[in-house]
Structure 1
Amino acid sequence: MAAGGRAPAPWVLLCLGALLAPWVSAGLEAVVIGEVHENVTLLCGSVLGPRGLVTWYRNDSELVFLLSSNSSLQPADPRYSLANAGSLHIETLSLQDEGNYTCQEVLNETRWFRVWLQVASGPCQVEVNISSTGTLPNGTLYAAKGSQVDFSCSSSSWPPPIVEWWFQAPDSRTEPFGNNWTASSFKLFLMSQNLQGNYTCLAKNMLSGRHRNVTTELLVYSPPPSVPQCWAEMSPGTFMLQLTCRWDKGYPDPNFLWTEEPGGVVVGKSQLGVERLNQSQLSDGKKFKCVGSHIVGPESGTSCMVQIRSPSILSEPMKTCFVGGNVTFTCQVSGAYPPAKILWLRNLTQPEVVIQPSSHYVITHNGQSSTLTIRNCSQGLDEGYYVCRAENPVGLREVDIWLSVKEPVNIGGIVGTIVSLLLLGLAIISGLILYYSPMFCWKVGRTFRRQDMGDVMVLVDSEEEEVEEEKDVAEEEEEEANERVELPKEVQKHSHIHRVTALVNGNIEQMGNGLQALQDDSGEQQSDTVQDDDRPV
């Protein structure tokens, strides 16, 4: 073969392979692993030193000549070449290069060496697919809380790769997803916040040891569980109306849209939900609507509404204070939204001067109610008008209160005078009753006395007293007779007995008997007098 400079005939190689098959099978076998598109070198044994004639064959179903150290023989493929006077060097491997290779060395003897070439490819183009998710503008995936998510990973590789999934939660280390669990696809049910993080698919070529991974960040979003809350208030540091909308406990933060109702005129849109309005945008009774929207729903969003109102004030128009005393004004504000700011002002010589709390002025606030207490009232200093002002961004209301300061009055003297007048009036009325109606007193006395007590007192003049009275009368008559001789003597006899019967304790029968006896005596006296008149002088 060397003299001819040509490759041996196929039938010669066939016969040679048949003769050398037992030797080849009995020879040493090495395993070499190469990768697609890479270069590989197959060693012809491990003999050091001078080498003989080396010829390389590929023995698939039959021996196929590849390359020889005989320069007259051309290699079967330009990719083949000898290295170190005996090794087969193959460039730009492909999967078709995988197989058994045989090296024949002829020196003092013929030796055969067999090499098994394995060609690995990949993994490359690892693709991760996570379904039932959304994608943010930056490419990050997100899933809704409580949803089901499907994971799959694929890669072109030879031999087929081993796929492993790794998971890294925020602020933690990477760990296998499961206990030595490997799979190219799986499902997660009821996604929760603790499943948010980085998911890594690792594809590994077990032949070459080469691996490739792809990491995908998956966020778990959840809308707020409740409805949004919105309110209006005065902006801190300014007198502008501030609209605030809150929709808490969601992830991520929702977006807010404020509109003016009716009409839907957009007031502002932001993630903070706070908008400030100037006076030109406000009027009593105007409504503002806040619509909250979240990336995972509900699709139409949810809303709340506020209605702004100007304040109304209720207070007493006049108050009175005595010098040295205390007086309290009360100002009640209603209907104001947002709540009004209440101020007290003195509207006298210096109008629009706000009263500041002091030892003389005590101001207290309780919600939308305010009180002003003036201590130690002074007529020259405190008498006059006071103003209660309620103001919010929607409107302003004021009410005037007049304070009259008077000198204190002697209460004891007033009370004594009133009591004296009452007693005097009572005495006058009693006197009139006794004067014009004595029987009324008798009836009243009878009403209040008990009927079972019948004690009667009878007063009788003694005979001695009567005789003395008659003597006195006779003496007086004699003197008159002496003075007037021409007149006849008139002798009067008083032989009657004066009887006085008094009713004590309401005994009506005995009172009647006493009155009858008194009438009889009077009749007898009258008859005696008539008889005496009939007598001649």
Structure 2
Amino acid sequence: MVAQLLGLVFLFLPTNLVNFITYAVEINPKWEVVYQETSVYGVVGKAVILECGPTLPDMYIWSFTMPGTEAIRAVVYDLGKGERIQQLAQTLGQLTVISNSAAVSIENLPLAAHGLFTCQAFYDIEQEPKVFYYYVHLTVRVPVSKPYLLMSDVSPVEGSTMWMRCNLENGTGPIQYVWQYETRSGNISAFAQGNTNIINVTNINRNHTGWYRCVASNAVNSESSNRLWLDTIFGPDIPQIDVTPYSITERGYSALERETVSLLCQAQSNPASQYVWFYNNSQVYTGSQLTITKILRMHTGDYACLAQNTYLNTRSKKTISLTVYYPPDGSPSCSVEAALNYTALRLLCSWPGGLPSPSLHWTGLVNTANTNTAVLLPSEGLNSNSLFTCMGSHLALKQSIECSTRTYIPPAEPECFAYVTNNKQYLMLSCSWDGGAPKALLWWEGPDGLAKGGEENSNILILRYGTARSGKPYTCHAKHPLLVQTKTCRLTLEAPVLLTQRRVVSVYEGSDVQLTCNLRANYLPVSEITWFNNQGVGVLDTSKYALLQTSAWANLTVRDTDETQDSGEYRCSTSNAVGGTEINVTLVIKRYPMPPNVTLVKVMYNSRQRNEVELEWRVENEGGGGWTGFILQHIWVSEQPGRRGSNNDSKQETEERISPPDWYSNIIQDPEVRIYTVGRLTPTVTYQFRIMPVNHRTVGHPSAAKTPAEPRYNVYPAVIGAAIGGMLFAAFLTALLLVFIIRNRNNNPRESYT
């Protein structure tokens, strides 16, 4: 019956099914086949499921018909013995049957799977067989690949026409195309779309310059091409000339002489314009910006800018006129000076140069156009701090420029001071009265008719070194036109005077001490402050002495003081152009008190090797203090016979024993220590030990010298052991001798003569 059903199935397979509309036809009478059609869409490389009824049939057969053909070929079937996948299925993708159903799953869907799949399903075969035909129209779609954009001309000329094409390698239609434009600032907009992959752009202009891309889309996906730059070629436009600084006149532009003038030419063009500058029809510069530093009057004339587009071989030109004006340099100069022997004032105003000459006048006094205006004013009735203003104007300036001068008395009093030249040849007396307008007149008068003529603002009287009169005043006179009375300042020269904080300084030895020497204030500076030590030798910065000094004081620090070397008189000395002086400071170095006596209570070798000695001592009056440490000494006394110069002694040890004995010291800085071990001793040498207390640098009396005692030990077991060992060794030697005689009796030399 199964065979009959199968024959029936293949008998009724349709040969041409192209309708993709889903519908079902069901024949009600018995033995009529039921037909159902569905359409399924898949994507290349993806997965798709083809259904065969809502429930699992008793038997089913899946077959495939390629589009444009009538052949029906089996793909997979199950006749109750399990599914059997046919070889054809390998060309349709990775086909598997879904468990507990007749539906098939196709993964990694290829384009070859596009076509009609038919599932013949059989139900209730043993009772009332039912046959269903499921037609599944599988449409395999291909996603669009990444498009690439082509342009007929990536650098079109403004006003021309060009086309853009969006090319695809793969993609199932229908395909929609969107054309996008991206500005330089990054703004993206769509300017065209449709189902065609080519567009035409007419009347290209500079606004079309930018990035372009196309986006291709179908029912599966959407892909965008890489962007492509469209560069519109145009220009040059009529140049625009900017003049800096900007100053326009009836004839064109103007500039002031010695200014830096910049002419900037700009003409819109792509590629960028090449610029050539002409001055009075002569080429002077190539470039967009012509800069004239410190422009001169001879630079007046016509300046033309020629803009060129070398790609299109086009050009444009513009000409301007530039006039150079030159006012007088700077600004008016005002000054005031003394007149009529410092009893009147003269006001001066000048501003040389300029074309034409500037106009000058004093406000409130005189109006005149002279370039050198002078006004004489009597000092009577003039107040200190009076202001006078001179106005200057010029055609090249938009507004007048003024200058002012002020008359005032110097704010302070005249100042007198003295100083000496470096080589001590001259003494210079200086008098100054700074400030004031006009400047004051100063002159010197000294003892014995000494004088020096007047000079403005300051005056210096030069004397030979050592010729100044001590205690006699030198007077400086100062005269100003705004004052009726003459001012004076006096300078009295004196020899220096030295001071010190302490004339006698006392410290304990080993300390650092500072000696001070100060110069009392006087008008005449000294050459230098010098220190001399207790031996009368000038002191310099050394490891022993430290000098810290200025022009007014000098401090001497004596380091690590010693009673013998550093006690005594120290001298501080200085001099100036009038005379010299010195001051003595006595330095007293005190020793620390004598420490208490120390007694050795134990001196003993701590082993039979005799190379270490342990010492113990006691301090008298322990509670009284007065010591900071100890000096532990030992000396070589004698050596056992037969040891001098032995092979085991080093050369240095031999020389030390031959040379006169010396005390070797060990410094113990801890005052609390009472036991100490001296090592690295020669066992054959006899030593003596002593100890001395120390209080800082004061060393106390040495204790009585003591020889180390031998360590206590029992010699009887050692003697018995040595005797027994000797007897055993002698017996052993006797036995060896007897064995030798017995073995060699045939070789006895006495038998050879018998």
TM-score for the superposition, normalised by structure 2: 0.27
Question: Who wins on radius of gyration, i.e. which is larger?
Answer: 1
- In the superposition, the TM-score normalised over structure 1's length comes to 0.36
Q: Which has the higher contact order (CA 8 A, sep 6+)?
A: 1
